[in-house]
Amino acid sequence: MSRELVYTGFMSLDGVVDSPGGKEEGHRGGGWVMDTEFVPEAYSLKSEELADHTALLFGRRSYEAFAPYWRESDDHIAYKELPKYVLSTALTESDLLDGWGPTTILRSTEDVAELKETDGGAIFIHGSAELARRLGDAELIDRYNLLVFPVLLGAGKSLFSRSDRDKQPLRLRDSAVYTNGVAKLVYDVVR
């Protein structure tokens, strides 16, 4: 039995996952999560996920953005010693951050497929839209944990490929809607 690969993230209603935390991330509408009224229960999915995490997978840019912040963040202390994997053709061992647990560089989609066949529990992808599209197209993602925000951004990175492909059915595992308009949608990929 293979390990479950789970994408988890924030998404606008029109499918943009780009720059939820701030304009410094590159999108002119960046910070759109912060513009939504804070309702603690709307973020309960994030704390529920912690029990499932046994490893983290990032693309290079997300690793470089998250690692320095999450290493020092009390909110992300549970991630510190988890095994981390970064899919990158350019990153070298000397680019990896010290003091944030074991990190392995993967070079190809095939390396991710092989990782899924190792022993262990769920591997979570945070951010990393381009990586998620690539792995989704390769039929390697098993579940999507999404918090969909009530905002339309028009342009930006999309989680899902726009290429012509076979239909991919999903099965709703869990959902909720919160008073601030955020919707939790958890889908299993049906194979």
The domain locations on the chain are 5-189
Tokens of 98: 């010290």
For residue 24, pLDDT over 70 is answered with no
pLDDT band per the 50, 70, 90 thresholds, residue 51: confident
Mean model confidence pLDDT for the chain: 91
Secondary structure E strands in the chain: 5-12, 53-59, 84-87, 103-106, 122-126, 143-149, 170-177, 183-189
- Give pLDDT, residue 190: 97
Contact 139, 2 (CB under 8 A): no
pLDDT band per the 50, 70, 90 thresholds, residue 140: very high
Average of pLDDT values for 86-91?
Answer: 96
Percent composition of the chain: helix, strand, coil (DSSP 3-state, to 5): 30, 25, 45
- Give pLDDT, residue 33: 84
- Give pLDDT, residue 75: 83
pLDDT band per the 50, 70, 90 thresholds, residue 76: confident
- Which range has the worst mean pLDDT, 24-28, 62-66, 116-120, 160-164? 24-28
Strands 143-149 and 170-177: unpaired
Exposure string (b/e) for 79-111, b if CB count within 10 Å is 16 or more?
beebbbbbbbeebeeeebeeebeebebbeeeee
pLDDT band per the 50, 70, 90 thresholds, residue 1: low
Partners of 187 in the β-ladder: 144, 172
DSSP label at residue 2: P
For residue 140, the tally of other CB atoms under 10 A from its CB is 20
Average of pLDDT values for 140-158?
Answer: 93
For residue 175, pLDDT over 90 is answered with yes
Q: What is the model's pTM?
A: 0.93
**5-189 CATH choice from 3.40.430.10, 1.10.10.10, 3.30.43.10, 3.40.50.2300:** 3.40.430.10
- Give pLDDT, residue 157: 87
In what order do the strands lie in the sheet containing 170-177? Answer: 103-106, 84-87, 53-59, 122-126, 5-12, 143-149, 183-189, 170-177
For residue 182, pLDDT over 90 is answered with yes
- Give pLDDT, residue 63: 93
Cα separation, 85 vs 104, whole angstroms: 5
Average of pLDDT values for 19-25?
Answer: 69
- Give pLDDT, residue 21: 72
Higher pLDDT, 105 or 21: 105
